[in-house]
Amino acid sequence: MGIGRCYVITPQNTLEEVKALAEALQRRSDGKFIWLDFANPTLEQLSVPAEALGLHPLAIEDCLDEDQVPKMDEFPEHTFILFNRYRVVGDTAEIEEINLFLGSDFLVTVHSHGQDEAALGEHFLNTVRRDIASASKGPDFLLQVLLDDIVDEKFTAIEALQDQLDTIEDDLLRSAAEFRPGRLVKLRRTLLHLRKSLVYEREILVKLCRRDSRFVSEAAIYDFRDIYDHLAKFFEVVEICRELIGSIMEIHLAMINNQMTMVANRTNQTVRRLTLITTIFMPLTLLSGIGGMSEWSMMTGPENWKLAYPAFLGGMVVIAGLSYSLIKWIEKRDKPVPSFYGANTEEPPTPR
């Protein structure tokens, strides 16, 4: 069972809680209006104020459905607004729908789908009490006070997401090998949900500012314009954060590719050294194979062994030296020479 509260707000900047809905309805006169706040209500709880205030059944149905996008619908007796409350708790983003019914002498708020029922209601009550001078001007001004508080919470959430993004970037630059892109993907998904919410909420504020709702007075437009400016700014910040996420992902891939290239270069250098050693020892192995048999003694004669074998060893040294010199000369010839512009190209770099 949810929680329902009834308040009577007077032009004298007073807010009084009443126990019964019937009593609140009777006191709507001489500039007084009522504010009904429901936290996690059931259909039976909403049916009573819906019948008394003429709330449309489709709007009541949207209040009980959590999977809705922000929107604004016009009905004969009221304007229905669905807004998103956004906050970050730890590393988890929480999105909560706030449903508002704006009439000529009432405002109904419905929130907390299965979450903390009393906390948000108390938060809204404290917000209205702090700005009772504005809220007492009418239901449209009370709506402005609540929407302004919801939007301010979005700013706090966006700041928390920016801090997470800075931490992820520092972790990447500190150690690319230990970096886990799962946090970045989760943050990108969170920003995508926030961006989607901001797009629809900007449209709602545009409609309120041009008085698509007949329950919004001319004097309240200026306050709604201020809220729209905040939403437009937050939307730009979210877009910048999404671009930064793409840049961080590109940096991560570039650093991984750079590490793989360095490993490949080290492997190539090792293989090149082994090839150099093999190239030098191949003719030596051939000569040692011939010299270790009887053919060398047959060619030089067994009696000349004191001269034949030193000559044989000297020949091996000469061949090894020639092979090494030839390979170094080839490496030097194939090595690119830096140009005047510091690059390994013959033409200067193309100016941007």
Tens digits of per-residue pLDDT, 198-226? 999 999 999 999 988 999 999 999 999 99
Convert the pLDDT of each residue in 22-67 to its tens digit: 888 888 877 789 999 998 888 888 888 899 899 999 999 988 887 7
The contacts of residue 318 (CB under 8 Å, 6+ apart) are: none
Give alpha helix (H) positions in the chain: 21-26, 43-53, 57-63, 117-130, 132-135, 139-174, 182-209, 221-291, 294-300, 305-334
For tokens 């191949």, the residue is 282
Distance from the first to the final alpha carbon of the chain = 67
Using CA atoms, how far apart are residues 39 and 98, in angstroms rounded to an integer? Answer: 10
How far is the C-alpha of 245 from the C-alpha of 241, rounded, in Å?
6
Mean residue pLDDT across the chain: 82
User: Is 155:230 a contact under the CB 8 Å cutoff?
Assistant: yes
Q: Indicate whether 338 pLDDT > 60.
A: no
Neighbour tally for 75: CB within 10 Å = 14
pLDDT in tens, 234-270: 999 988 888 888 888 888 788 888 888 888 888 887 8
- pLDDT exceeds 80 at position 332: no
d(CA 270, CA 334): 18
pLDDT at 343: 46
Separation of alpha carbons 186 and 182, rounded Å: 6
CA 27-29-56 angle, to 5 degrees, is 80
Q: What is the model's pLDDT at position 301? A: 63
Mean pLDDT calculated for residue range 223-232: 92
- DSSP for 185-250? HHHHHHHHHHHHHHHHHHHHHHHHHTT-STTS-STTHHHHHHHHHHHHHHHHHHHHHHHHHHHHHH
Residues 90-135 pLDDT 10s: 767 778 889 999 998 999 999 876 566 678 888 889 999 999 999 9
pLDDT at 113: 63
Q: What digits encode the pLDDT tens for the residues 140-158? A: 999 999 999 999 888 888 8
pLDDT mean over 327-348: 57
Confidence (pLDDT) at 346: 46
Q: 112 Cβ partners below 8 Å, 6+ apart? A: 2, 39, 40, 96, 120, 121
Does the predicted TM-score (pTM) go above 0.95? no
